[in-house]
Amino acid sequence: MNRLRNIITASVLLASISFAFAQNTDKKWLVGIGVQAEDYTSVNNIFDGYFDTDDYSFPSAKLTIARSLAKNFAVDFQFSIGSVENKRLKIKDELFLSTGLGLKWMPLSEKSWFDPYLRVGANYYSYDYTSIHAPGTLSDPTLQYDNDYKESKPLTGKFNGKKDLFNVNGGVGINFWFTKGFGINVESQYNWIANSPRNYSDFFQHSAGLVFRIGGNKKVPDVDTDGDGVPDKDDKCPNVAGPKENNGCPWGDKDGDGVLDKDDKCPDVAGPKENNGCPWPDRDGDGVPDKDDRCPDTPGLAKFKGCPDTDGDGIPDPDDKCPNEAGPKENNGCPVTYKTVTQALQNITFEFNSAKLTADSQDKVKNAASFLNSSSLAGQNAYVDGYTDKSGAAAYNLKLSKQRAQSVVDDLIAAGVDKDRLTARGFGKTNFLCTDADVKAGKYSEDACNQLNRRVEVTPRTLTVQKTVEVKKAPAKKTKK
């Protein structure tokens, strides 16, 4: 009768506690209510009589409350109470009380109906062993163990019975979920009693019961008309989205530069975000910010990075060698003259004893052609005059100079110059740019002097060139040119 009364009282108490606790939870919790059996007879060797239910002590009540910590872990509180018989030590209907904390590891998804776990924990354990005293010798007649276990499972070790004990435990369990919030639980744990021989006070606990997943009531979300994350009750602009930092109202942008007034150091004047909403400095007022202006103190054009083009030839003044006179880019912005064309043909060479230009001279001729076709000389007619050095017969040199001038004319025509604009002339060994006196004075070497005189010049067709032609004599032996 006492046992039944204790069980009924404990069950009512645990049910009341679990109901009250569940009604106040606001997180994800698990509550379990069940019954438990203690087994004091299988401790000498694990599973020695583990399934011998005749030796179990039935029943005591058990309460479990657990809370999820992470995806696969939970912490729990377990409480057990009942009137329990210890068949191993012939203790009848003593009050059994155990309470403590544990950690569970659940390897499977919480959505699975099959939910196994491992558990370790530590408990306060109260059970009255004060009537048991064992000096540690098997022949002592005061030992109180049951005779059924005397020979096969003898008690060993010195033991002085206590009532209040501490134990650690470990075990396995399984939850079978019928719905998301309701299922049944079975669990088995082994309890190690501190500072006590194993076969006196260690025991198994086997339990079964109902489990419930319980969470708090869902909170009704606040109304947020403009969807800015600020509930209408706190939103000073409930119909216009805005940040929480501005009480749900959008930040202003008075100057319309895309930089919010709160971040704009010049809120009344438009400016780029990179300069905190302020316009970039522009000392010369040409619309090109100083940071990008090659000529920050002189007004210029954006396409020339703020530099002017005074002569309008498409070359900015810093890159124009003649900024006040228009000229092509090929001549560094300076106007093209016949002198320019002649300089382009300077140091051209011909194949040995021939009027044919060497390959190295082709680019120079093409450059001269571009100058003749430039706006400065376009449409103007020109003479292409050939000269030789002083060596060799005059008649031969006269002929060779004309042939070489004609070779240059042919290549200029091939490079795009109108053939009607060009006339080839030969002047042989005349109009020297370098004389023997210059060589003797050390101004030039003999080879350099000859190279200077072997040349092609381009002059306007209207210019009359003074010609000094030697009298034609008998042909002399050809010399190398």
Mark 338-352 as b/e (b = at least 16 C-beta within 10 Å): bebbbbbbeebebee
Helices and strands per DSSP (H, E), number in the chain:
7, 13
The reported pTM is 0.42
What pLDDT score does 176 carry?
Answer: 94
Mean pLDDT of 93-100: 90
* Both structure tokens of 36: 């438990």
How large a percentage of the chain has pLDDT more than 90? 25
Res 465 pLDDT > 50: no
Question: What Cα–Cα distance (Å) separates residue 192 from each residue in 36, 51, 62, 86, 121?
Answer: 17, 19, 19, 16, 11
How would residue 445 be classed by pLDDT, with cut points 50, 70 and 90? very high
How would residue 137 be classed by pLDDT, with cut points 50, 70 and 90? low
Mark 149-188 as b/e (b = at least 16 C-beta within 10 Å): beeebebeeebebbeebebebebebebebeeeeebebebb
Residue 14's nearest CA partner among 97, 74, 95 is 97
What pLDDT score does 255 carry?
Answer: 79
What pLDDT score does 120 carry?
Answer: 95
Instruction: Answer for the pair 380, 421: CB distance below 8 angstroms, yes or no.
Output: yes
CA distance 103 to 116: 14
Question: What Cα–Cα distance (Å) separates residue 363 from each residue in 338, 347, 412, 414?
Answer: 18, 12, 11, 12
Residue 408's nearest CA partner among 357, 452, 343, 363 is 357
Res 479 pLDDT > 60: no
Q: 160-205: per-residue pLDDT in tens?
A: 788 888 889 999 999 999 988 899 999 999 988 887 777 778 888 8
What pLDDT score does 214 carry?
Answer: 84
Least confident of 46-50, 64-68, 164-168, 383-387: 46-50
User: Which domains does the chain show, CATH number per domain?
Assistant: 2-214 (2.40.160.20), 336-460 (3.30.1330.60)
CA distance 457 to 385: 5
Q: 282-322: per-residue pLDDT in tens?
A: 788 888 888 888 898 889 888 888 899 888 888 898 888 88
Least confident of 43-52, 255-264, 348-357: 43-52
Residue 125's nearest CA partner among 70, 178, 162 is 162
What pLDDT score does 145 carry?
Answer: 53
Instruction: Answer for the pair 365, 345: CB distance below 8 angstroms, yes or no.
Output: yes
Could you identify the residue written with the tokens 């005293």? Answer: 133
What pLDDT score does 60 carry?
Answer: 85
Task: Go through the chain and tell me how many residues it has.
Answer: 481
DSSP letters of 36-85? EEEE-SS-SSTTTTTT-GGG-EEEEEEEEEEEE-SSSEEEEEEEEEEEEE
What pLDDT score does 256 carry?
Answer: 79
SS3 for 305-320 is CCECCCCCCCCCHHHC
What pLDDT score does 105 carry?
Answer: 92
Mean pLDDT of 454-476: 62
* Both structure tokens of 252: 């202003």
Res 426 pLDDT > 80: yes
Q: Kindly tell me the sign of the dihedral angle through the C-alpha atoms of 438, 443, 444, 449.
A: negative
Question: What Cα–Cα distance (Å) separates residue 172 from each residue in 47, 106, 186?
Answer: 14, 10, 9
Res 448 pLDDT > 50: yes
Instruction: Answer for the pair 137, 125: CB distance below 8 angstroms, yes or no.
Output: no
Mean pLDDT of 146-159: 58
